[in-house]
Amino acid sequence: IILVGTPINDDIANLVVAQLLFLEAEDPQKDIYMYINSPGGMVTAGLAIYDTMQYIKPDVSTICVGQASSMAAVLLAAGARGKRFALPHTRIMLHQPIGSFEGQAADVEIQAKEILRLKEILEDILVTHTGQPHERIKADTDRDFFMDAFQAKDYGIVDGVLEKRGTKVKRGRRG
């Protein structure tokens, strides 16, 4: 079990990557469960976690408890298909990368190009894992886009909403 329960920065990413690699080494056939309750954070740190999730042999099941915003929502969607879940009262939020720059005009231009490149990478990841068309992902991430657990299921970020371990909630009961 891994818990991503804080903002995602380089230190947290290094810990999560180390845990993923350790759990793979312990038993490459056993699913890894990643619980997420995070407001998101640094894109580059999140991409280190994402790449490791895709690299290792075990399936990574993602379960959102509380919130998965920004980069944390990307990680939630990146779990193994059929093994991505949210609890009934979670909140999921997508948006484009945020950055602020200062310095000489040439340096600001370089940073702006890099953030646009990261935006395209995140859009491509979301297209791959949600099945949504690129145009919709681009439009929905232009501003903060909030979803409850059931909307996230309909969107393709998660595969089910869990109330109790192993029990999916039907839409009619909640939402």
Q: What pLDDT, in 10s, does the model give residues 44-78?
A: 999 999 999 999 999 999 999 999 999 999 999 99
Cα 173 from Cα 175, distance rounded (Å): 7
Which pLDDT score, from 0 to 100, does residue 108 have? 86
- Output the DSSP codes for 34-86: EEEEE--B-HHHHHHHHHHHHHSSS-EEEEEEEEEETHHHHHHHTSPTT-EEE
* pLDDT single digits (tens) 99-119: 777 788 988 889 889 999 999
- Interior/surface letters 136-146, b for 16+ CB within 10 angstroms, e for the rest: ebbebbeeebe
More confident residue, 158 or 105: 158
Among residues 38, 61, 69, 95, the one annotated as catalytic is 95
Q: What is the pLDDT of residue 171?
A: 65
In the chain the domains, ranked by start, together with CATH numbers, are 2-170 (3.90.226.10)
Look up the pTM and report it: 0.93
Looking at residue 70, its pLDDT comes to 98
Would the pLDDT of 169 be above 60? yes
| % of the chain surpassing 70 pLDDT | 96
CA angle 117, 45, 108 (to 5 degrees): 40
pLDDT (average), residues 35-42: 98
Running DSSP on this structure, what letter comes out for residue 123? H
Cβ-proximal residues to 110 (8 Å cutoff; 6+ apart), any chain:
none
* Residue 95: active-site member: yes
Closest among 1, 47, 4, 54 to 26, alpha carbons compared? 1
Contact yes or no for 48/17 (Cβ under 8 A): yes
Summarised one tens digit per residue, pLDDT across range 135-155 is 999 999 999 999 999 999 999
Q: Name the active-site residue from 38, 61, 70, 129.
A: 70
| Mean pLDDT value across residues 41-46 | 97
The pLDDT assigned to 98 comes to 81
Annotation marks residue 70 as catalytic: yes
